[in-house]
Chain A
Amino acid sequence: MPMLSRLQWAISLAVLALLLALPFLLPSFWTGNIMGRAIVYGIVAMSLTFLASYGGFISLAQTMIAGIAGYTVAVLAPTAIPLGNHWLPYWALIPLAVAAATFAGAVVGLIAVRTREIYLLMITLALAVGFSLFAQSNIDWFNGYEGIRNILGPDIFGYPFRNLYVFYYSSLLVATALYFLVLYVVKTPFGLVLQGIRDNPRRVSAIGFNVGVHRVASFALAGFIAGWGGVLITFYNIGITPGSIGIWATVNVLVMAVIGGLGHPIGAFIGALVYTLFDTFAATIYDRDRFNTLIGLVFLVIVLVSPDGLLGLFRRLTGWRTGRSVATETMEEKT
């Protein structure tokens, strides 16, 4: 059961090499505000894709879980305004934030352990909206509507995290590690059981596995992934607000995941990149403030032409099977 074929390894390494060289080839705006941003949001989208692709669970709580990691960092960060000057250093704070997100993921999984499909969607959406409203109304910890500012991130080898290269390479490192973690995990007994639950939960019980425990564990792992994304997004935005984890942010992450394709974790990053490009250049392409119309149209076209996103489109054009898509599968079941 190899993780990747030889061709896939070759392509992965080539893409990685390109990504490593990119800061020297592109203007700094592109490195930070396009590629860097796509990578950090892509991590959160990948946590959604992981659950959808291998577990068959569509969770809208991933942005909220990223937000829990983000708020954990922001509330306790040394430089935070207005709450700041805490003694906890970043090297302890970041793992704490990721642990909090992992725990939150497990709690979401536990709450939703018996629900499927539309009900799972509704429960996770309710949790997401609930948490952002809580953050918005809580002044003492979260500073309400304004959120928490001046979260600068750690210094790495003496360089500030705000340094373009430090931010870009740190994000790329984290994203690559998490991406390969997902590819590894889905070949372990845990990951195979997860795919078994996607295909047939009844059979999973019949051969002796506890479906509930595996579901909760998969949400915890997705929380771990989203947590890293949340921490990096908070550094990217130099802070966090309730709006950045609210319903619109949730929808944006879902749009990224669907545009890219829910069939394979790489789809999340492709979707995030496409989304970021439109978000950034909508004003120059069409008109100011028409971003939502444009991305909405792009979304519609992609979903109509290829229900399994750009990855599915690519796969159909090239006849190359990179993985399996939830969208095509549900369509097959219906026919």
Chain B
Amino acid sequence: MIEAPRRKPIANPFPAPAGKGIRKQKHSTNEIMTASQQSNPPPAPDAAVPALRLEQVGRRFGALQAVRNVTFDIARGERRGIIGPNGAGKTTLFNTICGDFPPTEGRILLFGEDISRLKPHLRARQGIGRTYQTSLLFTGLTVLENLFLAVRGAMPNRLSLLKPGAGDAALAKARDLAERVRVSNIAAEKIDTISHGQRRQVEVGMALASDPKLLMLDEPAAGLSAGERPELVKLIQDLPRDLTLILIEHDMEVALPNSDIVTVMKDGEVVVENTPDRIADDPVVQAIYLGGAH
């Protein structure tokens, strides 16, 4: 019953140019390599391969096409804002990326690997961390237990029947995380007894626990009071710069200062993609946000 740490051999669809470094792990797991391929160095983690590539991604729920023909690349270390009105398909796009509702059309490539058909827990192990628009936490467990599980989920020997001791590494890391998202004072409280703002902070902590390569925040400041909001914005600004980040935010005041590039969605499609300073002046965006002023 012990679940072995595994990594599915996935052929890299974007062979990198020759002469780059060799990723040992990939080399050993890729069983379908031919002799001629082996003479060329396999794909390298070079900067040319985007952190995330969406190729004509679509998601259909019955007759409803919630996301349609979305294509874009997100570079390593980029901070991407996704804005748009309610029902634009922002959260559905997140769900296709993390696997809760896999895409019905198109492909999703994470660091060059096609993850379109992977189950959500396998995508998480590939380095995706995400938060949810409405906090999805383990309400019967304490803050520390929530963070501990999120740390354990990224480690081998996930199915363990040994109680963590005082010196447990995952437990220590969970305590550090609690410190980092500023909830260490309530670490022993059960989730159903803490405030909404504190839950939003634990949400971010859960997503950071696996040291993700791609972090997706779905309206992290949703429902926060004016007093709680700066705390969370600070949390986002303090994230390491090399972390690739996608931020869904309804509120442009939060989205624009925290994004390198902003993608605007409407009716399931990408309508504009631009830098934050230009996006506010874009006629299409103004039409969406100001109710068709142009």
Interface residues of A (CB under 8 A from B): 1, 3, 106, 184-185, 187-190, 192-193, 195-196, 198-200, 202-211, 213-214, 216-217, 220, 324, 329
Contacts and interface: CB of A to CB of B under 8 A. Distances in A.
Interface of B: 1, 3, 98-100, 119-121, 124-125, 130, 132, 136-142, 144-145, 148-150, 152-154, 158-164, 170, 206, 209-210
B141 A190 contact: no
A204 B146 CA distance: 10
A214 B159 contact: yes
Given A195-B140, A199-B138, A210-B3, A184 B124 contact: no
A184 B162 CA distance: 9
18 contacts: A1-B142, A184-B163, A189-B152, A189-B158, A192-B149, A195-B138, A196-B141, A196-B149, A199-B139, A200-B136, A200-B138, A202-B120, A203-B136, A203-B137, A204-B121, A204-B149, A207-B206, A210-B3
B153 A208 contact: yes
Nearest to B131: A206
A265 to B, nearest CB: 15
A202 B140 CA distance: 15
A203 B135 CA distance: 10
Nearest to B130: A206
Contacts of A329: 140
A190 B162 CA distance: 8
A206 B138 contact: no
Nearest to A197: B138
B160 A205 contact: no
Nearest to B152: A189
A300 to B, nearest CB: 28
Given A187-B163, A190-B161, A206 B141 contact: no
A101 B119 CA distance: 31
B161 A185 contact: yes
A184 B161 CA distance: 9
Contact of B153 (A3, A185, A200, A209): A209
Given A190-B161, A193-B149, A208 B125 contact: yes
